[in-house]
Structure 1
Amino acid sequence: MSSVFVILAGCNTVAGAGKDMERGGEKVQDTAKDVQNKM
């Protein structure tokens, strides 16, 4: 039973990390668009 909670906690951690990476990617895209617009 406790292993189920560990697995679920791991999934939440991975999901959170995925969201953080997604936000980082969005920042990179925004910066690239800004640079492209200034050219």
Structure 2
Amino acid sequence: NLNEKALNDMENDTYSKGFLLEMETIEEIDNIIR
């Protein structure tokens, strides 16, 4: 099913973007603490 694949791709994309954002935030907090 093409729609399901598109939905999965979207979910994965959102997930990886959220993950990257979180990593950036953690780095910023790290810099503030130091």
1:4 alignment partner in structure 2: none
Q: After TM superposition, give the deviation of residue 38 of structure 1 in Å.
A: 1.2
Query: How many residue pairs end up in the alignment?
Result: 33
- 5+ residue gaps, structure 1, are 1-6
Length-normalised TM-score, structure 1: 0.76
Identity of aligned residues (%): 12
Rg larger in 1 or in 2?
Answer: 1
The aligned counterpart of 1:20 is 14
Query: By how many angstroms is 1:32 displaced?
Result: 0.2
5+ residue gaps, structure 2: none
Q: 4+ residue stretches of structure 1 with deviation over 3 A?
A: none
